[in-house]
Amino acid sequence: MPSPVWIHFTSANVKGKAVYSCKYCAKTYVKNATKMQQHIARCPKFSQGTKQATPGKKLSAFLRSENDSDSDTLSSAPGDSRIRVLLDTIDECSQRNADECFARAMYATGSPFMLTANVYWIRFLNVLHPAYTPPTRHALSTHLLDGEFSRVQAKVKQTIDKADCISVISDGWSNVQGIINYVVTTPHPVFYKSTDTKDNRHTCTYIVNELKAVINDLGPQKVFALVTDDAENMKVAWAHVEETFPHITTIGCASHALNLLLKDIMALNTMDTLYKRAKQVVKYVKGKQVASAISKQNDKDKNTTLTLPSISQWDGVVIMYDSLLEGKESLHEMAISQGAAIESAIKRILLDKVFWERLTSSLRILKPIAAAITKIEGDNSILSDVKCMFAELKDQIQTVLPTSLLLQAEKTAVVESMEKCQEFCVKPIHAAAYMLDPKYEKNILSVEEISSAYAVITAMSYHLGLDVGKVLGSLAKYRTKQGLWGWDGIWQSCQHVSASTWWKGLCGSEALAPVASTILQIPPTSAASERSRSLFGNIYTKVCNRLTNERVEKLVAIRANLQLFDPDIEPSSTRLDSDAESEDESDVEEANLKNVDKTLKEAIAT
């Protein structure tokens, strides 16, 4: 097979001898493929002339030495024995498919579009496929983005059309360029749309109109719930939505309410004083190089790190307190070390027994709430879990309060905040969900709650066009374990499938099944919307700060919904570490710690 190098030369007859001229620089050679190949490798005009040399195809030859990572050029010196020439071709269809895959990877990872102009990325892509030319920054932000967005939106529409029960989730006003977003559960969360508020005032009227537009667009008959945070304009909007769509239940986000409960508890004087002292210690140790180095050296075997809480998520206080208690021994050693030069105020805190006792005591109150937040924000949480969660949380708080270090008035305030939180979160539909969830056999519902659950089931039966008498009759058999539910095996199976699947798959012949499966698909929190909001922050960054709101919305929609195409792929394998929302203060860099290595050794020795 002839060498492909010949396509870069033009043959001619000079004085009866065949010579070959380079198409790019006119350098001539006699027939010698090896020398001609070496010339193409270092020809300065080759890269510019490639496209003209091969119309209809893209062809490039890239020269690299084995140590080109230390070079600022794309070619090595002439005569280098390690030079290799890569000749490759790519047709238009393959180029287009590669562009789409490349763009999809960029959008899925939130990578800056300027990446395609980075010389090291260009080198890397040429190693993989020398003839491939990555799309430009402009292409990534225009037709490629529009094409991928259209593909994803078509999948979103298909998913929503197949769903028999839809809930709308919105967490109020976003702090990212005035954007408010909407997530739809089918029951799996799907990013539906976002609205650029522009100059609109944050009024109830505006939110009501937006929510009604979303519900009408989705199809009101399929929408059964609206889940939001406790923003005043949202709570006012609830009444308007329920008036227009009587079958839709408005629900307060349980996770948001629990975070507010933590915030109320942390505002108590005793808790606030402890929090400020604990944060003072952590910030000091993390900010002082010698102190941080000593703490890390002492905690090396325990693998513990002092952690500051997030600005917006109060359950991070638990993590901070835990990190302090885990590092208590090393912190105490640091406080008494003569070489550490710890400030007297910090030293007093670290050597104060009451400080450590209060940390332990406060954690007995805070940990159950933080654990409840983690559980209810899980992807598999449903409305029935809220009722059970509050029952367990109430018992736990009532058990630890009497022995806590809070003042009596503060203990009363905790109980009142708990009741306020439960009032916002728990509605009759939660009681109905608990009643219909087969994994909850213990009856914790009051007579009033049971009555309210019956009312919810009856109203939904009317909306679904079912025979109410048959539905309630089916409910009676379900609650007394008669008929289909008299078999033990059917109750054992509920531990292996979701509650809605259990009703659809095993109890689908019963009149109660459509009502039960609908109620048990409604999410208890707006966590899905919170996650999509964090995507806005990860995409609109200091690096990517010139993106328009329209492009940001498209990027978020693509990134949030790509898993619809690959439902079996673990979400963790499609995310970057930067996707995890974190507002913690960073640790002291290792490079800086090396600078104090000598001081550290002297301090520990002392």
DSSP H helices in 191-253:
204-218, 232-244
pLDDT, position 38 = 78
Whole-number Cα distances in Å, 274 to 277, 294, 314, 319, 406: 5, 24, 14, 14, 11
Whole-number Cα distances in Å, 69 to 79, 81, 115, 158: 19, 17, 17, 47
Tell me the per-residue pLDDT of 490-541, one tens digit each, with 9 for 90 and over.
999 999 999 999 999 999 999 999 999 999 999 999 887 766 555 555 554 4
Tell me if 289 sits within 8 A of 340, measured CB to CB: no
Residue ranges of domains in the chain: 163-252+526-566, 259-423, 428-519
- Identify the three-state secondary structure at position 605: helix
pLDDT, position 339 = 65
Q: What share of the chain is helix, strand, coil (3-state, %, to 5)?
A: 60, 10, 30
The CA-based dihedral angle spanning residues 413, 418, 423, 427, taken in that order and rounded to the nearest 10 degrees: -170
Distance of CA 591 to the CA centre of its chain: 30
Tokens of residue 140, six digits: 């990534």
pLDDT, position 82 = 36
- State the DSSP H helix or E strand holding residue 180, giving kind and residue range, or none if neither: strand 179-185
Please choose, from the candidates 554, 528, 555, the residue with its C-alpha nearest in 3D space to the C-alpha of residue 539: 555
Pairing of strands 166-169, 84-90: unpaired
Cα–Cα distance for residue pair 225/275, rounded to 1 Å:
38
Tokens of residue 230, six digits: 């406790």
Tell me: cis bond preceding 187? Omega within 30 of 0 counts.
yes
pLDDT, position 296 = 54
pLDDT, position 292 = 52
Cα–Cα distance for residue pair 76/82, rounded to 1 Å:
9
Q: Around 493, how many Cα atoms within 13 Å sit in the side-chain half-sphere?
A: 13
DSSP 8-state class, residue 223:
E
Tell me if 8 sits within 8 A of 40, measured CB to CB: yes
In 10 A of CB 549, how many CB atoms? 18
DSSP 8-state class, residue 483:
G
Cα–Cα distance for residue pair 281/403, rounded to 1 Å:
26
In what order do the strands lie in the sheet containing 223-228? 189-196, 179-185, 166-169, 223-228, 249-252
Cα–Cα distance for residue pair 18/296, rounded to 1 Å:
75
pLDDT, position 112 = 85
Tokens of residue 378, six digits: 């899980």
Tokens of residue 548, six digits: 């328009």
pLDDT, position 342 = 82
Cα–Cα distance for residue pair 492/494, rounded to 1 Å:
6
55-86 as b/e: b if 16+ CB within 10 A: eeebbbbbbbbeebeeeeeebbeeebeebebe
Tell me if 133 sits within 8 A of 114, measured CB to CB: no
In 10 A of CB 142, how many CB atoms? 13
Write down the CATH number for the domain with range 163-252+526-566.
Answer: 3.30.420.10
Whole-number Cα distances in Å, 453 to 242, 249, 460, 474, 527: 18, 13, 11, 15, 25
- State the DSSP H helix or E strand holding residue 25, giving kind and residue range, or none if neither: none
pLDDT, position 86 = 42
Q: If you search the block for the tokens 């010139």, which residue do you land on? A: 546
pLDDT, position 297 = 55
Distance of CA 513 to the CA centre of its chain: 33
Low-confidence ranges of the chain (pLDDT < 50): 1, 49-86, 173-176, 540-543, 576-606
pLDDT, position 294 = 53
Tokens of residue 43, six digits: 């020809």
Q: Which residues contact 603 (CB under 8 A, 6 or more apart)?
A: 290, 294, 337, 339, 340, 341
- State the DSSP H helix or E strand holding residue 190, giving kind and residue range, or none if neither: strand 189-196
Query: How long a stretch of residues is the chain?
Result: 606
Global pTM value? 0.74
Tell me the per-residue pLDDT of 542-567, one tens digit each, with 9 for 90 and over.
445 556 778 888 888 898 888 888 87
pLDDT, position 181 = 83
In 10 A of CB 104, how many CB atoms? 18
